[in-house]
Amino acid sequence: MNPTKPSIVALITDFGLQDEYVGVMKGVILSVNPQARIVDVCHAIEPYGIVQAGQMLASVTPYFPPETVFVVVVDPGVGGERDILAVRREGVVLLAPDNGLLSVWRDDWRSTDIVRVQQTRYFLSRVSRTFHGRDIFAPVAGHLTLGLPLEELGPPVDPRRIQRVSVPMVRIGGQGDVRGTVIAVDRFGNLITDIRSEVLSELERRQSKGEWRIEVREKSIHGLRSFYGEVDRGKPLALIGSRNTLEIAINGGSAAADFGAEAGTAVLVRTSR
Protein backbone atom coordinates (compact mmCIF):
# COMPACT_ATOMS: atom_id res chain seq x y z
CA MET A 1 0.00 0.00 0.00
CA ASN A 2 1.26 3.44 -0.88
CA PRO A 3 1.35 5.35 2.41
CA THR A 4 0.69 8.71 0.74
CA LYS A 5 -2.21 7.41 -1.33
CA PRO A 6 -5.36 9.00 -0.03
CA SER A 7 -7.78 6.42 1.35
CA ILE A 8 -10.67 8.75 1.79
CA VAL A 9 -14.26 7.78 2.46
CA ALA A 10 -16.81 10.60 2.25
CA LEU A 11 -20.18 9.98 3.90
CA ILE A 12 -23.59 11.41 3.00
CA THR A 13 -26.51 9.98 4.99
CA ASP A 14 -29.88 10.83 6.48
CA PHE A 15 -28.83 9.27 9.83
CA GLY A 16 -28.30 12.47 11.78
CA LEU A 17 -25.73 12.52 14.59
CA GLN A 18 -27.92 11.82 17.64
CA ASP A 19 -27.71 8.05 17.23
CA GLU A 20 -24.71 5.72 16.97
CA TYR A 21 -25.37 4.80 13.32
CA VAL A 22 -22.65 6.93 11.73
CA GLY A 23 -20.10 6.03 14.41
CA VAL A 24 -20.71 2.33 13.91
CA MET A 25 -20.22 2.66 10.15
CA LYS A 26 -16.85 4.29 10.85
CA GLY A 27 -15.89 1.43 13.16
CA VAL A 28 -16.60 -1.05 10.39
CA ILE A 29 -14.70 0.95 7.74
CA LEU A 30 -11.67 1.16 10.05
CA SER A 31 -11.92 -2.56 10.83
CA VAL A 32 -11.31 -3.22 7.13
CA ASN A 33 -8.81 -0.40 6.53
CA PRO A 34 -7.34 1.18 9.67
CA GLN A 35 -5.68 3.82 7.48
CA ALA A 36 -8.91 5.11 5.94
CA ARG A 37 -9.69 8.78 6.45
CA ILE A 38 -13.37 9.35 6.86
CA VAL A 39 -15.03 12.67 6.08
CA ASP A 40 -18.55 13.54 7.15
CA VAL A 41 -19.99 15.47 4.22
CA CYS A 42 -23.48 15.63 5.64
CA HIS A 43 -25.70 13.46 7.84
CA ALA A 44 -28.58 15.92 7.92
CA ILE A 45 -30.21 14.89 4.66
CA GLU A 46 -33.93 14.89 5.41
CA PRO A 47 -35.08 11.32 6.14
CA TYR A 48 -35.45 9.52 2.79
CA GLY A 49 -34.32 12.68 0.89
CA ILE A 50 -33.08 10.99 -2.26
CA VAL A 51 -33.20 14.10 -4.42
CA GLN A 52 -31.50 16.24 -1.78
CA ALA A 53 -28.69 13.69 -1.46
CA GLY A 54 -28.18 13.51 -5.24
CA GLN A 55 -28.07 17.30 -5.53
CA MET A 56 -25.56 17.59 -2.70
CA LEU A 57 -23.39 14.94 -4.31
CA ALA A 58 -23.25 16.99 -7.50
CA SER A 59 -22.03 20.01 -5.58
CA VAL A 60 -19.31 18.28 -3.55
CA THR A 61 -17.61 15.61 -5.69
CA PRO A 62 -15.43 18.12 -7.61
CA TYR A 63 -13.81 19.22 -4.35
CA PHE A 64 -12.53 15.83 -3.18
CA PRO A 65 -9.29 14.07 -4.15
CA PRO A 66 -9.31 11.51 -6.97
CA GLU A 67 -10.16 8.01 -5.75
CA THR A 68 -12.33 9.27 -2.90
CA VAL A 69 -15.00 6.68 -2.11
CA PHE A 70 -18.36 8.36 -1.59
CA VAL A 71 -20.88 6.40 0.43
CA VAL A 72 -24.42 7.69 0.16
CA VAL A 73 -26.88 5.99 2.48
CA VAL A 74 -30.34 7.42 1.99
CA ASP A 75 -32.09 4.15 1.73
CA PRO A 76 -35.81 3.83 2.43
CA GLY A 77 -35.83 0.47 0.64
CA VAL A 78 -33.21 -1.14 2.88
CA GLY A 79 -33.63 -4.87 3.25
CA GLY A 80 -36.04 -5.18 0.32
CA GLU A 81 -35.50 -5.88 -3.37
CA ARG A 82 -33.57 -2.74 -4.28
CA ASP A 83 -29.97 -3.23 -5.42
CA ILE A 84 -26.85 -1.52 -4.18
CA LEU A 85 -24.74 -0.01 -6.94
CA ALA A 86 -21.04 0.84 -7.12
CA VAL A 87 -19.96 3.32 -9.75
CA ARG A 88 -16.71 4.88 -10.92
CA ARG A 89 -17.02 8.25 -12.57
CA GLU A 90 -15.17 11.55 -12.82
CA GLY A 91 -12.31 10.15 -10.79
CA VAL A 92 -14.36 9.14 -7.76
CA VAL A 93 -16.02 5.93 -6.64
CA LEU A 94 -19.54 5.87 -5.29
CA LEU A 95 -21.71 3.41 -3.37
CA ALA A 96 -25.45 4.08 -3.25
CA PRO A 97 -28.75 2.23 -3.23
CA ASP A 98 -30.44 1.94 -6.61
CA ASN A 99 -33.30 4.27 -5.78
CA GLY A 100 -32.89 7.11 -8.25
CA LEU A 101 -30.17 8.94 -6.36
CA LEU A 102 -27.63 8.32 -9.13
CA SER A 103 -29.92 9.86 -11.74
CA VAL A 104 -30.12 13.07 -9.74
CA TRP A 105 -26.34 13.32 -9.67
CA ARG A 106 -25.88 12.65 -13.42
CA ASP A 107 -28.39 11.56 -16.05
CA ASP A 108 -26.03 10.04 -18.61
CA TRP A 109 -24.47 6.72 -17.68
CA ARG A 110 -22.43 4.16 -19.62
CA SER A 111 -22.55 0.43 -19.08
CA THR A 112 -18.89 0.41 -18.02
CA ASP A 113 -19.59 2.76 -15.12
CA ILE A 114 -21.78 0.67 -12.86
CA VAL A 115 -21.73 -2.69 -11.09
CA ARG A 116 -24.27 -4.35 -8.82
CA VAL A 117 -22.82 -4.97 -5.36
CA GLN A 118 -23.51 -8.61 -4.60
CA GLN A 119 -20.23 -10.32 -3.68
CA THR A 120 -21.05 -11.15 -0.06
CA ARG A 121 -17.42 -11.95 0.85
CA TYR A 122 -16.92 -8.18 1.23
CA PHE A 123 -19.93 -7.75 3.53
CA LEU A 124 -20.05 -8.29 7.26
CA SER A 125 -20.57 -11.98 7.96
CA ARG A 126 -24.01 -11.31 9.40
CA VAL A 127 -26.12 -8.91 7.31
CA SER A 128 -29.22 -7.41 8.92
CA ARG A 129 -32.17 -6.27 6.84
CA THR A 130 -32.41 -2.88 8.54
CA PHE A 131 -28.89 -1.43 8.51
CA HIS A 132 -27.00 -2.06 5.28
CA GLY A 133 -24.97 1.10 5.95
CA ARG A 134 -23.15 -0.87 8.63
CA ASP A 135 -23.34 -4.36 7.16
CA ILE A 136 -22.68 -3.75 3.43
CA PHE A 137 -21.83 -0.14 2.54
CA ALA A 138 -19.18 0.33 5.23
CA PRO A 139 -17.16 -2.87 4.74
CA VAL A 140 -17.34 -2.59 0.94
CA ALA A 141 -16.13 1.03 1.15
CA GLY A 142 -13.23 -0.13 3.31
CA HIS A 143 -12.25 -2.71 0.72
CA LEU A 144 -12.53 -0.16 -2.10
CA THR A 145 -10.05 2.13 -0.33
CA LEU A 146 -7.66 -0.81 -0.22
CA GLY A 147 -7.77 -0.96 -4.03
CA LEU A 148 -10.44 -3.59 -4.65
CA PRO A 149 -11.51 -3.31 -8.33
CA LEU A 150 -15.18 -2.49 -8.81
CA GLU A 151 -15.61 -5.57 -10.99
CA GLU A 152 -14.93 -7.80 -7.99
CA LEU A 153 -18.16 -6.61 -6.39
CA GLY A 154 -20.56 -7.89 -9.00
CA PRO A 155 -21.70 -7.80 -12.64
CA PRO A 156 -22.01 -4.66 -14.77
CA VAL A 157 -25.40 -2.99 -14.84
CA ASP A 158 -27.17 -1.78 -17.96
CA PRO A 159 -27.61 1.94 -17.28
CA ARG A 160 -31.10 1.84 -18.81
CA ARG A 161 -32.13 -0.40 -15.92
CA ILE A 162 -31.18 1.82 -13.01
CA GLN A 163 -33.90 3.63 -11.10
CA ARG A 164 -34.52 7.22 -12.11
CA VAL A 165 -36.11 10.12 -10.28
CA SER A 166 -37.35 12.87 -12.50
CA VAL A 167 -36.00 16.24 -11.38
CA PRO A 168 -37.17 18.86 -13.87
CA MET A 169 -34.31 20.90 -15.33
CA VAL A 170 -35.06 24.59 -14.91
CA ARG A 171 -34.99 26.44 -18.26
CA ILE A 172 -36.04 29.76 -19.73
CA GLY A 173 -39.80 29.80 -20.25
CA GLY A 174 -41.83 31.07 -23.17
CA GLN A 175 -42.28 34.50 -21.61
CA GLY A 176 -38.52 34.89 -21.16
CA ASP A 177 -38.85 34.14 -17.48
CA VAL A 178 -37.31 31.40 -15.34
CA ARG A 179 -39.38 29.49 -12.79
CA GLY A 180 -37.39 27.60 -10.18
CA THR A 181 -37.67 26.36 -6.64
CA VAL A 182 -35.89 26.71 -3.33
CA ILE A 183 -34.21 23.33 -2.84
CA ALA A 184 -32.44 24.02 0.45
CA VAL A 185 -32.24 26.57 3.24
CA ASP A 186 -28.78 26.72 4.78
CA ARG A 187 -27.83 27.58 8.37
CA PHE A 188 -27.75 31.30 7.58
CA GLY A 189 -31.27 31.22 6.16
CA ASN A 190 -29.94 31.61 2.61
CA LEU A 191 -32.33 30.22 -0.01
CA ILE A 192 -30.52 27.85 -2.37
CA THR A 193 -32.45 27.42 -5.63
CA ASP A 194 -32.26 25.01 -8.54
CA ILE A 195 -31.69 27.82 -11.06
CA ARG A 196 -28.25 27.23 -12.52
CA SER A 197 -25.95 30.11 -13.40
CA GLU A 198 -25.83 28.90 -17.02
CA VAL A 199 -29.55 29.53 -17.37
CA LEU A 200 -29.17 33.06 -16.04
CA SER A 201 -26.22 33.70 -18.39
CA GLU A 202 -28.41 32.62 -21.30
CA LEU A 203 -31.19 34.92 -20.10
CA GLU A 204 -28.70 37.77 -19.91
CA ARG A 205 -27.53 37.16 -23.48
CA ARG A 206 -31.11 37.29 -24.73
CA GLN A 207 -32.23 40.39 -22.90
CA SER A 208 -29.06 42.26 -22.19
CA LYS A 209 -30.72 45.63 -21.63
CA GLY A 210 -33.33 44.43 -19.18
CA GLU A 211 -33.22 44.79 -15.41
CA TRP A 212 -33.24 41.64 -13.29
CA ARG A 213 -36.13 41.01 -10.99
CA ILE A 214 -36.32 38.00 -8.66
CA GLU A 215 -39.66 37.26 -7.01
CA VAL A 216 -40.15 35.11 -3.89
CA ARG A 217 -43.52 35.03 -2.15
CA GLU A 218 -44.91 38.54 -2.53
CA LYS A 219 -41.52 40.28 -2.45
CA SER A 220 -39.07 41.09 -5.19
CA ILE A 221 -35.35 41.78 -5.47
CA HIS A 222 -33.83 43.87 -8.24
CA GLY A 223 -30.50 43.04 -9.79
CA LEU A 224 -27.92 40.33 -9.25
CA ARG A 225 -25.03 40.90 -6.85
CA SER A 226 -21.63 39.26 -6.42
CA PHE A 227 -21.32 38.98 -2.63
CA TYR A 228 -23.39 39.45 0.51
CA GLY A 229 -21.76 42.67 1.72
CA GLU A 230 -22.63 44.44 -1.53
CA VAL A 231 -25.94 45.57 0.00
CA ASP A 232 -26.50 47.18 3.38
CA ARG A 233 -26.93 45.01 6.46
CA GLY A 234 -30.47 43.70 6.69
CA LYS A 235 -31.16 44.18 2.95
CA PRO A 236 -32.07 41.33 0.58
CA LEU A 237 -30.01 40.33 -2.42
CA ALA A 238 -29.73 37.66 -5.07
CA LEU A 239 -26.44 36.18 -6.25
CA ILE A 240 -24.84 33.08 -7.69
CA GLY A 241 -24.01 31.01 -4.61
CA SER A 242 -21.35 28.44 -3.85
CA ARG A 243 -23.30 25.69 -5.61
CA ASN A 244 -23.24 27.79 -8.77
CA THR A 245 -27.00 28.34 -8.62
CA LEU A 246 -29.17 31.34 -7.82
CA GLU A 247 -29.23 32.08 -4.09
CA ILE A 248 -31.34 34.58 -2.20
CA ALA A 249 -29.95 36.07 0.99
CA ILE A 250 -30.22 38.87 3.53
CA ASN A 251 -26.86 40.48 4.33
CA GLY A 252 -26.33 39.60 7.98
CA GLY A 253 -29.79 38.07 8.32
CA SER A 254 -32.06 35.20 7.32
CA ALA A 255 -33.86 35.25 3.96
CA ALA A 256 -35.90 32.22 5.00
CA ALA A 257 -37.35 34.18 7.93
CA ASP A 258 -37.74 37.47 6.04
CA PHE A 259 -39.41 35.99 2.96
CA GLY A 260 -41.29 33.26 4.82
CA ALA A 261 -39.66 30.81 2.41
CA GLU A 262 -38.58 27.19 2.74
CA ALA A 263 -37.57 24.23 0.59
CA GLY A 264 -40.24 24.02 -2.09
CA THR A 265 -41.00 27.75 -2.30
CA ALA A 266 -41.32 29.00 -5.90
CA VAL A 267 -38.78 31.50 -7.25
CA LEU A 268 -39.40 33.54 -10.40
CA VAL A 269 -36.69 35.39 -12.34
CA ARG A 270 -37.60 37.83 -15.07
CA THR A 271 -36.02 40.74 -16.84
CA SER A 272 -37.94 43.86 -17.72
CA ARG A 273 -36.83 46.71 -19.93
First-residue to last-residue Cα distance in the chain: 63
CA dihedral of 121, 127, 132, 136, whole degrees rounded to 10: -10
| Shortest distance, position 271 Cβ to its own copies, whole Å | 22
Q: Name which of 109 and 194 has its Cβ closer to its own copies.
A: 194
| Shortest distance, position 226 Cβ to its own copies, whole Å | 5
Residue partners of 233: CB distance under 8 A and separation at least 6? 251, 252, 253
Interatomic CA distance for residues 74 and 51, integer angstroms: 10
Contact of 261 with 216, CB cutoff 8 Å = yes
Ramachandran bin of 189, using left for φ above 0, alpha for ψ from -120 to 50, beta for the remaining angles: left
Q: Name which of 130 and 208 has its Cβ closer to its own copies.
A: 130
Residue partners of 121: CB distance under 8 A and separation at least 6? none
| Shortest distance, position 73 Cβ to its own copies, whole Å | 12
Interatomic CA distance for residues 83 and 101, integer angstroms: 12
| Shortest distance, position 107 Cβ to its own copies, whole Å | 21
CA 78 from centre of chain: 20
Q: Name which of 115 and 138 has its Cβ closer to its own copies.
A: 138
| Shortest distance, position 1 Cβ to its own copies, whole Å | 8
| Shortest distance, position 8 Cβ to its own copies, whole Å | 6
In the Cβ-directed half-sphere of 27, how many Cα atoms lie within 13 Å? Answer: 8
Q: Name which of 88 and 270 has its Cβ closer to its own copies.
A: 88
Instruction: Tell me which residues touch its own copies (CB under 8 A).
Output: 1, 3-6, 8, 10, 14-24, 26-28, 30-31, 34-35, 37-44, 47-48, 56, 59-60, 63-65, 68, 76-80, 128-131, 134, 184, 186-188, 226-230, 239-242, 247, 251-252
Q: Name which of 44 and 172 has its Cβ closer to its own copies.
A: 44
| Burial of 110: CB neighbours in 10 Å, binned 0-12, 13-18, 19+ | exposed
Q: Name which of 115 and 144 has its Cβ closer to its own copies.
A: 144
